Structure 1
Amino acid sequence: MIEFRNVTKRFPDGTLAVDDFSLVLPSRKTTVFVGSSGCGKTTLLRMINRMVEPTSGDVEIDGESVLGGDPVALRRRIGYVMQNSGLMPHFTVIDNVATVLRLTGVKRAAAHQRARELLDTVGLDQALAERYPSQLSGGQQQRVGVARGLAADPNILLMDEPFGAVDPIVRADLQQETLRLQRELDKTVVFVTHDIDEAFLLGDQVVILDKGARIVQVGSPSEIIENPVDDFVAAFIGADRGKRALHLKQTPRGTVVVDADGRTQGSIIDVPDAVTDALLSEESVTKGAP
């Protein structure tokens, strides 16, 4: 469990990035910080592994303050994945993945064996092991970055807008890969994004932030969609524009679900005719997932 206790961060230029932030992030779940640029979400993420030091307050992992020990040792036991992968261009794929293990004293052969296992875990062909980052696609680079973040088998994985620089198709694939990895590996994931649809797709707990990392609403995707706490949240998730509204449409082949723009999102199956008729009599239904 990760807990922020009255955390404040003021930078030397006077910018108040985080103002008295408190929150518990549950273990073995994905918590997503989402908000517009400059709201403090990345600052919060980086205070977990002390890449940013809080001005006041504390961050605890399983009841122990992160501020009391060696920050380098702390970072080596917490996985970190960033936008644009952050790979070292002069290292091969396998050496990039093995970096943290080598820094912690693992022998080269053992580190490479673990790295090869992780290439399989993240869906990369072993033939890529000896290539350099410049020889990979953007999506492949991000997968290498995820593999490197998992190399030391950390309990916590921090992901700072990791898919923001890839095209929409690759991004969708990487999002599904993240969901699969979380199901299989059971990590505590902290994810930062400005994309509310990505937050709703990946998050067990979604934290919507305003300036100064002020929590506007926190909850599951369903809780937030069904009960936006105020106009700010409604606007942020698109509920005020009907973005989350779904409608039923009768077609010759059956009933389908369409979004606010009339695009088909799926079909209704295994629903008694009486229920379908009742639903069709309603103007719309609330969208339960992005």
Structure 2
Amino acid sequence: MIGFENVRKEYPGGTIAVEDFSLEVASHESMVLVGTSGSGKTTLMRMINRMVDPTSGRVHIDGDDVAGLDPVKLRRSVGYVMQASGLLPHRTVLDNITTVPVLRGTSKNEARSRAHELMETVGLDAALASRYPAQLSGGQQQRVGVARGLAADPNILLMDEPFGAVDPIVRGELQQELLHLQRDLRKTIVFVTHDIDEAFLVGDRVVILRPGGVIAQIGTPQEILADPADDFVASFVGADRGARTLHVERTDGQDVVVDADGRAAGVLDAGGRSAP
């Protein structure tokens, strides 16, 4: 479990990134922090692996205050996937994936064997192992980034807008890949995004943040959509514009799900489920 207790972050000069934030993330849960720029979402996520230390308050993992943990060892034990992958350009795909396990003392042969397994897990062709990041597409680079984040088999995976730099089609593929991975691996994931649709897709629970890390609402996607806490949340998720209001129309013998503006949003299959 990850816990935030009355966390505050104030930078020199008086800028307050996070005012007073408390939250518990359950083990094996996918928790999404979503908000506009200045909402403190990335700052909060980086407190977990001590890339940022709070000015006051406490962040703990399974009861252990991270302030008392060695930051280097902590970061090597927590998976981290960032926007634009952050791969080392002078190292091959295989060597990028094996970076953390080797630093933790895993033999090169064992680390490389694990890397090949992870390449298959995240949908990368084995032939890409010897290529360099510049020789990959954006989507392939992000898959390598996910594999690298999983290489040391961490219990916790931090994902900082990991799919924000790729085109919408690839982004959708990567989102679905993450859902499949989570069903199989059951990691504790803290995922940061500014995209509410992505948050609702990948999150078991979603935290909608106001500026300064103030929680506007926390809940499952269903709970937030069914009962937005206030006008800010309703506007953020699009409920105030009817963007989340759907109905079914019969077209050519098929039940089509249509939004408030009459645009098709998907179809209903025989089981009554909507499909995009």
CA distance in 2, matches of 1:268, 1:203: 23
In the superposition, relative to structure 1, how do residues 135 and 271 fare at CA in structure 2: closer, same or farther (>3 Å)? closer
Amino acid at match of 1:103: L
CA distance in 1, matches of 2:133, 2:164: 18
- SS of 2:246 mapped into structure 1: strand
Correspondence 1:126 to 2:107: no
Q: Which residue of 1 aligns with 2:248?
A: 248
Amino acid at match of 1:88: L
Question: Please, what TM-score do these two structures have when normalized by structure 2?
Answer: 0.96
- SS of 2:260 mapped into structure 1: coil
User: Bigger radius of gyration, 1 or 2?
Assistant: 1
- SS of 1:7 mapped into structure 2: strand
CA distance in 2, matches of 1:208, 1:24: 15
Q: Deviations over 1:85-114 (max 9, x none)?
A: 000000000000000011111121111111
CA distance in 2, matches of 1:141, 1:252: 42
CA distance in 2, matches of 1:160, 1:139: 16
- SS of 1:53 mapped into structure 2: coil
Correspondence 1:109 to 2:109: yes
- Alpha-carbon contact 1:49-1:74 (below 8 Å) kept: yes
Cα distance, 1:26 vs structure 2: 1.1
CA distance in 1, matches of 2:145, 2:52: 21
- Superposition map of 1:89-238 within 5 A: 89-238=89-238
- SS of 1:212 mapped into structure 2: coil
Deviates more, 1:109-118 or 1:252-261: 252-261
- Alpha-carbon contact 1:204-1:221 (below 8 Å) kept: yes
Identity percentage over the alignment?
67
CA distance in 2, matches of 1:61, 1:229: 29
- SS of 1:58 mapped into structure 2: strand
Cα distance, 1:252 vs structure 2: 3.6
Cα distance, 1:20 vs structure 2: 1.2
* Pairwise CA RMSD: 1.6
Q: Which residue of 1 aligns with 2:28?
A: 28
CA distance in 2, matches of 1:110, 1:257: 49
CA distance in 2, matches of 1:64, 1:58: 10
Q: Which residue of 1 aligns with 2:79?
A: 79
Cα distance, 1:267 vs structure 2: 3.3
Number of equivalenced pairs: 275
- Alpha-carbon contact 1:221-1:289 (below 8 Å) kept: no
Amino acid at match of 1:261: D
Amino acid at match of 2:213: A
Correspondence 1:3 to 2:3: yes
CA distance in 1, matches of 2:254, 2:124: 40
Unpaired runs of at least 5, structure 2: none
CA distance in 1, matches of 2:149, 2:186: 14
- Alpha-carbon contact 1:93-1:130 (below 8 Å) kept: yes
Deviates more, 1:104-113 or 1:165-174: 104-113
CA distance in 1, matches of 2:267, 2:130: 45
Unpaired runs of at least 5, structure 1: 273-287
Deviates more, 1:247-256 or 1:65-74: 247-256
- Structure 1 residue ranges, 4+ long, deviating more than 6 angstroms after superposition: none
